[in-house]
């Protein structure tokens, strides 16, 4: 969440104890580290996924990437990406009929990334370290500038270095949430809210979920504001955000 890894070693221990496979959603966390190693190395999970949607740390315009250290899973994901079809004789049920031969072993999808998207993704990957370094600098700037305001700064855990996809503050006074959010938007500051608890969405409500089911998520929702953070944000722009927020919080 937001670029910050959870304590994956503990989650992996829990998963092992219950015989559960673990897929890490690291859509926010490319460039982050956990226990000195990059998020995505699957040291504590079976698969890690990244999103390269345009709002993410790096983009391939759309699409993403799934990583694994398990050859069986890699083979299966590769097949499912392209309709469940293989051209690898080792995966086939019998010797190929001829050099044209392929086999459909299961029903997959068209999840192929285009060459153009891949080219953009690769050029973005070259810039990953610089993007994350800038995000970390901006996050440290917010940490220092907002420390004395009546709000909670983003959480961290020991041993994890965030990639800072998002910088989410939580207001001490939930009653001021809408006014502060509205005032910042009215000042042309691109604040946002990540995220609306999923159980409150109509799709999940149909399964019987109701407000009150997840009070911690709902409390978070009543206080959270994502303030601008991206590699292109200048020091002057960040100062404008800080000043607008401080003015509004003291109002
Ligand atoms: C945590 C998380 N997981 C998954 C996704 C979905 O990513 P995509 O739209 O690339 O499939 C998002 C997108 O915002 C996300 O924030």
Report the pLDDT value the prediction gives residue 2, as an integer from 0 to 100.
Answer: 97
Domain at 8-125, CATH from 3.90.1150.10, 2.60.40.10, 3.40.640.10, 1.10.3720.10: 3.40.640.10
- Has 137 been annotated as catalytic? no
Give the residue extent of every domain in the chain: 8-125, 128-250
| 4: nearest Cα among 33, 24, 37 | 33
The pLDDT assigned to 193 comes to 98
Residue 121 has a pLDDT of 98
Q: For the residues 94-98, what does the mean pLDDT come to?
A: 97
- CA 63 to ligand 1 center in whole angstroms: 10
Do the domains 128-250 and 8-125 match in fold? no
Q: How far apart are CA 218 and CA 81, in angstroms?
A: 36
pLDDT of residue 217: 98
Helix (H, G, I), strand (E, B) or coil at 238: helix
Mean pLDDT of the chain: 97
Residues with CB under 6 A from ligand 1: 25, 27-28, 51, 53, 64
Confidence of residue 98 (pLDDT cuts 50, 70, 90): very high
Q: What is the pLDDT of residues 128-175, one digit of tens each?
A: 999 999 999 999 999 999 999 999 999 999 999 999 999 999 999 999
User: Ligand 1, atom 15: nearest CA belongs to which residue?
Assistant: 27
pLDDT tens figures, 212-248: 999 999 999 999 999 999 999 999 999 999 999 999 9
Helix (H, G, I), strand (E, B) or coil at 205: helix
Structure tokens at 210: 């109701």
Rounded to the nearest angstrom, the distance between the alpha carbon of 26 and the centre of ligand 1 is 9
Mean of the pLDDT values across residues 2-28?
97
Phi/psi for 142 (5° steps) reads -65, -45
Judge contact between 156 and 4, C-beta under 8 A: yes
What pLDDT score was predicted for residue 251?
81
DSSP per-residue string spanning 42-68: -SS-SEEEEE--TTSSS--SS-EEEE-
In sequence order, what are the residues at sequence separation of 6 or more whose Cβ sits closer than 8 angstroms to the Cβ of residue 93?
103, 105
Q: Which two tokens stand for residue 115?
A: 């060459």
pLDDT at 32: 98
Give the span between the Cα atoms of 94 and 73, in whole angstroms.
Answer: 21
* DSSP designation for 192: B
Measured between alpha carbons, how far is 153 from 170 in angstroms, rounded to an integer?
7
Domain 128-250 maps to which CATH number in 3.30.1200.10, 3.40.50.300, 3.40.430.10, 3.90.1150.10?
Answer: 3.90.1150.10
For the cut 90, the answer to whether the pLDDT of residue 204 exceeds it is yes
Nearest to 112 by CA among 137, 142, 79: 79
Q: Which residue has the tokens 């946002």?
A: 192
Q: What is the DSSP string of 105-143?
A: -S---B-PPPHHHHHHHHHHHTTHHHHHHHHHHHHHHHH
Say yes or no to pLDDT of 250 above 90: no
Q: Which of these is catalytic: 28, 44, 56, 135?
A: 56
Q: How confident is the model at residue 122 (pLDDT cuts 50, 70, 90)?
A: very high
- Tell whether the model's pLDDT for residue 60 goes beyond 90: yes
User: Which of 5, 30, 53, 62 is the best mutation target for the ligand 1 pocket, counting ligand atoms within 8 Å of the beta carbon and taking the most?
Assistant: 53
CA–centroid distance, 239 to ligand 1, in Å, is: 29
Say whether pLDDT at 177 is over 90: yes
Ligand 1 atom with the shortest distance to the CA of 25: 3
């Amino acid at each position: 969440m937001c670029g910050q890894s959870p304590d994956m070693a503990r989650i992996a221990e829990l998963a092992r104890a219950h015989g559960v496979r673990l897929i890490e959603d690291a859509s926010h966390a490319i460039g982050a580290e956990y226990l000195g190693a990059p998020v995505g190395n699957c040291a504590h999970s079976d698969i890690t996924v990244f999103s390269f949607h345009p709002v993410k740390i790096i983009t391939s315009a759309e699409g993403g990437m799934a990583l694994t250290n398990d050859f069986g899973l890699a083979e299966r994901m590769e097949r499912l990406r392209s309709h469940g079809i293989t051209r690898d004789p080792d995966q086939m049920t019998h010797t190929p009929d001829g050099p044209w031969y392929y086999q459909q072993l299961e029903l997959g999808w068209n999840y192929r990334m285009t060459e153009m998207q891949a080219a953009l993704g690769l050029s973005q990957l070259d810039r990953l370290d610089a993007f994350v370094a800038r995000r970390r600098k901006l996050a440290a700037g917010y940490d220092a500038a907002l420390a004395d305001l009546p709000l909670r700064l983003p959480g961290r855990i020991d041993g994890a270095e965030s990639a800072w996809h998002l910088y989410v503050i939580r207001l001490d006074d939930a009653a001021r949430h809408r006014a502060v959010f509205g005032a910042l938007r009215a000042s042309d500051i691109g604040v946002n809210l990540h995220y609306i608890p999923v159980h409150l969405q109509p799709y999940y409500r149909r399964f019987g979920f109701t407000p009150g089911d997840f009070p911690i998520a709902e409390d978070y929702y009543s206080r959270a504001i994502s303030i601008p953070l991206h590699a292109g944000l200048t020091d002057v722009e960040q100062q404008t955000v800080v000043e607008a927020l401080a003015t509004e919080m003291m109002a």
